[in-house]
Structure 1
Amino acid sequence: MSNTVASKEKLVADLKLVVADTEELLRATAGQAGEKVAELRTRLEQRLQGAKVALADAQAFATEKAKAAAHATDDFVHAEPWKAVGIAAALGLALGVLIGRR
């Protein structure tokens, strides 16, 4: 998985936490009265909806990129099976040497 996809997945996870915290804050302040509180709640609800849409888009993008990477890998392995075996063997050897040094 590429670094970009991993960072986008982390961003999606972080946004989910922010959305959950904001929803909890809105529930906690539901009984509060006052013009400023009502205005703030309205702005928060609007921004929360925008954040949910952006979160869904980011999640769809990350999923799409991960699927594309998986398909590209599958195509490569089917087109060049011996290269794939050689690469896997080289990576296994390198990991074995690194682990063996400990």
Structure 2
Amino acid sequence: MSEQMTAANKEKLVSDLKVVIADTEELLRATTGMAGEKVGELRERLGVRLRDAKDRMLDLEQALVDKTKAAARATDDFVHDQPWKAVGVAAALGLALGVLIGRR
């Protein structure tokens, strides 16, 4: 995956993967009673791919959590190292948002 993918895109991807996994599990449950060689092979392949997708989703989710924690730590370090700059940035953002909201 690209390192440039935003956190929102990653969260959306994790959410979409969870939906696909849930749908696949439901499909596997629904076809439990069906007989036939092709159905059996399909169920086996779906089972393998489902396990792989779950593993990838967990890895992606963990990477997202790790990056979020790292960003929070970096922000915390910046605020502790340069508190007046942080106050200035927050005030500037507040002013800009106030002006934007005030125009509506």
Question: Structure 2 counterpart of 1:89, which letter?
Answer: A
Match of 1:77 in 2: 79
TM-score (normalizing by structure 2):
0.94
Quote the offset at 1:9 in angstroms.
Answer: 1.2
Q: Give a deviation string over 1:67-87, Cα, whole Å, max 9, x none.
A: 000000000000000000000
Match of 1:92 in 2: 94
Match of 1:43 in 2: 45
Secondary structure of residue in 1 paired with 2:7: helix
Report the count of equivalent residues: 101
Match of 2:31 in 1: 29
- Deviation >6 Å, runs of 4+: none
Larger RCO (alpha carbons 8 Å, 6+ apart): 1
Query: In percent, how many aligned pairs have the same letter?
Result: 69
Of 7-16 and 68-77, more deviation after overlay is shown by: 7-16
TM-score (normalizing by structure 1):
0.96
5+ residue gaps, structure 2, are: none
CA distance in 1, matches of 2:51, 2:89: 46
Question: Structure 2 counterpart of 1:86, which letter?
Answer: G
Question: Structure 1 counterpart of 2:19, which letter?
Answer: L
Q: Give a deviation string over 1:53-98, Cα, whole Å, max 9, x none.
A: 0000000000000000000000000000000000000000000000
CA RMSD of aligned residues (A): 1.2
